[in-house]
Copies of this chain bind each other. A is one copy, B any other.
Amino acid sequence: MRTAREIAEFVGGTLRGDHSVEIHEIGSLDSAGQGALAYAEGRYVANIAASNASCVLVPPGDYPSRTVIVVDAPRVAFARVAQWLYPLVHPFRGVHDTAIVSSQVTLGSDVALGAWTFVDDGARIGARTTIFPGCFVGHDCEIGEDCVVYPRVVLYPEVRLGDRVILHAGTVLGADGFGFVFDGTRHLKVPQVGRLTIGDDVEVGANACVDRGALDETVIKSGVKIDNLCQIGHNVQVGSHVVISSQTGIAGSSRVGDHAVIGGQVGIADYCRIDERATVGAQCGVPSRKRVPAGEVYWGTPARPLKNIKRQQAHLARLPRMAEELKELQREVLELKKTLADRVP
By a beta-carbon cutoff of 8 Å, the part of chain A in contact with chain B is 25-28, 30-32, 38, 73, 75-76, 78-80, 82-83, 85-86, 91, 98, 100, 114-116, 118, 120, 132-134, 136, 139, 150-152, 154, 156, 166, 168-170, 172, 175-176, 178, 180-183, 185-191, 193, 201, 203, 205-209, 211, 214-216, 223, 225, 227-229, 231, 233, 241, 243, 245-247, 249, 251, 264-265, 267, 269, 282-283, 285, 287, 300-302, 311-313, 315-316, 318-320, 322-323, 325-326, 329-330, 332-333, 336-337, 339-340, 343-345
For A100, list chain B residues within 8 Å (CB).
98, 115, 133
For A320, list chain B residues within 8 Å (CB).
311-312, 315
- The answer on a CB contact under 8 Å between A183 and B76 is yes
Top 8 A-B pairs ranked by shortest CB distance?
A154-B169, A172-B206, A28-B215, A136-B151, A79-B188, A86-B191, A175-B206, A209-B228
For A150, list chain B residues within 8 Å (CB).
154, 156, 175
- The answer on a CB contact under 8 Å between B25 and A193 is yes
For A339, list chain B residues within 8 Å (CB).
340, 344
- The answer on a CB contact under 8 Å between A154 and B170 is yes
A162 CB to closest chain B CB (Å) equals 13
- The answer on a CB contact under 8 Å between A249 and B264 is yes
- The answer on a CB contact under 8 Å between A246 and B269 is no
- The answer on a CB contact under 8 Å between A79 and B189 is yes
- The answer on a CB contact under 8 Å between B115 and A115 is no
- The answer on a CB contact under 8 Å between A169 and B168 is no
Q: How many chain copies does the complex carry?
A: 3
Complex CA–CA separation, A182 to B222 (angstroms)? 14
Known: A82-B193, A207-B209. 9 other contacts (CB 8 A): A91-B120, A118-B134, A132-B136, A152-B152, A170-B209, A175-B205, A325-B326, A332-B337, A343-B344
Complex CA–CA separation, A257 to B321 (angstroms)? 35
- The answer on a CB contact under 8 Å between B188 and A83 is yes
Complex CA–CA separation, A312 to B190 (angstroms)? 38
Complex CA–CA separation, A287 to B263 (angstroms)? 11
- The answer on a CB contact under 8 Å between B227 and A229 is no
For A134, list chain B residues within 8 Å (CB).
116, 118, 134, 136, 152
Known: A264-B267, A283-B301, A339-B344. A82 touches B132 (CB 8 A): no
- Of the A-B pairs whose beta carbons lie under 8 Å apart in the complex, a sample of 13, sorted by A's number, is A28-B215, A83-B188, A98-B98, A115-B116, A134-B134, A152-B152, A175-B228, A187-B223, A209-B228, A233-B246, A247-B267, A316-B316, A325-B330
Complex CA–CA separation, A183 to B11 (angstroms)? 13
A40 CB to closest chain B CB (Å) equals 12
- The answer on a CB contact under 8 Å between A209 and B215 is no
Nearest residue, chain B, Cβ from A75: B181
- The answer on a CB contact under 8 Å between A191 and B82 is yes
For A319, list chain B residues within 8 Å (CB).
312, 315-316, 319
Complex CA–CA separation, A86 to B300 (angstroms)? 41
Known: A154-B170, A191-B86, A247-B249. A229 touches B205 (CB 8 A): no
Nearest residue, chain B, Cβ from A96: B100
